[in-house]
Structure 1
Amino acid sequence: MAYTLEQLRGFVAVAEELHFGRAAARLRMTQPPLSRQIQKLESGVGVHLLDRDNRRVSLTPAGEAFLVEARRMLAIAESAPELAQRVSSGYYGLVRLAFTSASTFGILGRLLNELESRLPEVHIELFEMVTREQVAALAAGDLDLGLARPPFDPELFESRLLHREALLLAVRDDHWLAGLDRPLVAADLIREPLIFHSQQKARYFYDLIVSMVPVDQGNVVHAVSQVMTMLSLVSAGRGVAFVPASATRIGVPHVAYLEILTPIEEPVELHLLWPRQSRNPALPRVLAALEHLMP
């Protein structure tokens, strides 16, 4: 089916005026070329769209149906340049954002609210992934932006610190450690069963805790990758666990959160991470909109 935008505009003008002379004047053209446009359009569509004689013009049933679609196609065509300009400028588009499960405890919702307010025409598509998966997807071009844990390859990625928080010890609320009126030290945990972060699937937290708090790996009774799983096990009395301070927002019953002394006061970091070679024009706008959220 072949027809041009000029033919569609000519048909809409005739259909609305129901008069070739008035339609031609409206389009600032003469009547003979307008008549030829309508003939070519009907030939391309394969049906009569207009009934006309020397005194009147009317739409056929097919013409009435085609008028609806012609108006829609013209509206799309007329808005396409503006849409392309908005996409090119980064004000309209899609950003694929990955996040770790722990980042949902406060920071993710605040980030999404900020983007919705500042860039309402940029759609954010969400993916839950651990940092290792995010890095692979960003490198492959399957993601635009990540909320991830360091370290990152500076040759492939750019990153900005988004959030920093304390490391706490989660214990069951009737645990004897919950009765101590002071910050905990490593010596308090010598005989405690530990619910630890998996060295393979939660490497960032594993390395962080090992560097911050000297613990006996022989005390590890469970190794898991998700904070929610750790807290569920703590609630069941299976042991104690190191968690980021944002985990206090989850509200798992029978769990208390205790301060623990670490060489760095807020050692847990969350970064915005993106590929250096990103071609998504909306990404710089997103990063600029989030600038004031960064410490």
Structure 2
Amino acid sequence: MFSFEQLRGFVTVAEELHFGRAAERLNMTQPPLSRQIQKLERSIGVTLLDRDNRRVELTAAGRAFLVEATRLLALADAAPDLARRIAEGTTGIVRVGFTAASTFGVLTDVLDRISVALPQIELDLYEMVTREQVEALLAHEIDLALARPPFDPDLFGSRLIRREELVVAVPAGHPLAALDRPVEVGDLAGVPLVMHSPTKARYFYDLVVGLLPVEHHNVAHTVSQVATMIWLVAAGRGVAFVPRSAARLGIDGVVHLPLRTREAKPVELHLLWPRDSTNPALPHALAALEELDPDG
């Protein structure tokens, strides 16, 4: 096996095509440099240099090997600095889980802030519902989540990053769209609903039934994704309760109406991370997100 010292000697000779000048650059004498090259050639089993008393030239094998030797030396030179930056948390990977609904304006803000503050951090994205994000955080498959409450505070650190209104998405031309006031519970009597799944969209399901007396015999469809709900609304299959940010989808044929609720902004989105994370980049990512305004 060859050494980096032998690689460096070979690259220097290949650049100078002169053993004397190469030895001078390496602060050594010519005989030990010649022995380094000979050991390297024996190690890899090919002749890298044609040399005599007047000239030194690279063989075809030597030209090919020079490319890889230069690359290996560059990696070796960069490795200590890279290791230090990874240990400091300024270089590395942060794996971010997010709910589909969090892409409506929040996710891009999170990514932009981390990228500006930490340009050497690579961000890997994973779309998951909150339950899946919690499981992935516990398994250390992701480092940071954009998820809905509640969370176990003993296991997770969390920070509120967005709160917003719950609105009613209705088909264009629906009678509710003619109201000159927020929609109230009584206005929804007998209206077909596109409802959140109680298992796959548990946060929104609990939020809606906690705020409104949903009549389950009016539920026409149950789905897990907000975007799917709005497409069903556009098709005239019912009305749906969605976060205000969902209007950014811009789906034709859908109007988003204010809804009177006990809380003005009941929909919450949190940053979530495992308290026992060992990723040194995570604290830096969280610091970059400290100025996020929950009210947008």
What TM-score, normalized to structure 1?
0.96
The equivalences for 1:6-85 within 5 A come to 6-85=5-84
Query: What code does the residue aligned with 2:177 have?
Result: A
Deviation digits for residues 29-84 of structure 1 (CA, Å, limit 9, x no counterpart)? 12221111111101101011112222322221211211121111111110111111
After TM superposition, the structure 1 stretch with the greater mean CA deviation from structure 2, 78-87 or 208-217, is 208-217
Task: Give matches, 1:40-189, under 5 Å.
Answer: 40-189=39-188
1:138 Cα deviation after fit: 0.9
- Aligned twin of 1:253: 252
CA distance in 2, matches of 1:52, 1:182: 92
Q: Which residue pairs with 2:190 in the alignment?
A: 191
Structure 1 partner of 2:2: 3
Maintained 8 Å contact 1:190/1:215:
no
Question: In the TM superposition, what are the counterparts of 1:202-217 in structure 2 within 5 Å?
Answer: 202-217=201-216
Name the CA distance, whole Å, in 1 between partners of 2:42 and 2:228: 67
Shift of 1:252: 1.4
Q: Percent identity?
A: 63
Secondary structure in 2 aligned to 1:63?
A: helix
Structure 1 residue matching 2:231: 3-state secondary structure: helix
* Counterpart for residue 230 of structure 2: 231
Cα distance, 1:136 vs structure 2: 0.7
Deviation at 1:156, TM superposition (A): 1.3
1:200 maps to what in 2? 199
User: 1:218 offset after TM fit, Å?
Assistant: 2.2
**Aligned mates of 2:66, 2:203 — CA distance in 1:** 61
Tell which deviates more after alignment, 274-283 or 213-222: 213-222
Given the two structures, how large is their TM-score scaled by the length of structure 2?
A: 0.96
SS of 2:169's equivalent?
strand
Contact conserved, 1:93 with 1:121, CA < 8 A, in 2?
yes
Is the contact between residue 171 and residue 239 of structure 1 (CA under 8 Å) also seen in structure 2?
yes
Separation of aligned partners in 1, 2:75 and 2:198: 53
Q: Which amino acid aligns with 1:226?
A: Q
Amino acid at match of 1:208: L
Rounded Cα–Cα distance in structure 1 between residues aligned with 2:238 and 2:14: 77
Structure 1 window deviating more from structure 2 (27-36 vs 162-171): it is: 27-36
Structure 1 CA distance, aligned partners of 2:230 and 2:57? 73
Instruction: Give the whole-Å Cα distance in 2 for the aligned partners of 1:118 and 1:63.
Output: 44
- Report whether the alignment pairs 1:290 with 2:289: yes
Gap regions ≥5 residues in structure 2: none
Query: In the alignment, which residue of structure 2 is the partner of 1:269?
Result: 268
Q: Which residue of 2 aligns with 1:244?
A: 243
C-alpha distance in structure 2 between counterparts of 1:13 and 1:252, whole Å: 63
Q: Report the more deviating stretch, 33-42 or 53-62.
A: 53-62
Cα distance in structure 1, aligned partners of 2:213 and 2:176: 17
User: In structure 2, do the counterparts of structure 1 residues 140 and 148 end up closer, same or farther at CA, with 3 Å as the change threshold?
Assistant: same
Between stretches 12-21 and 91-100, larger displacement belongs to 12-21
Unaligned segments of structure 1, at least 5 residues: none
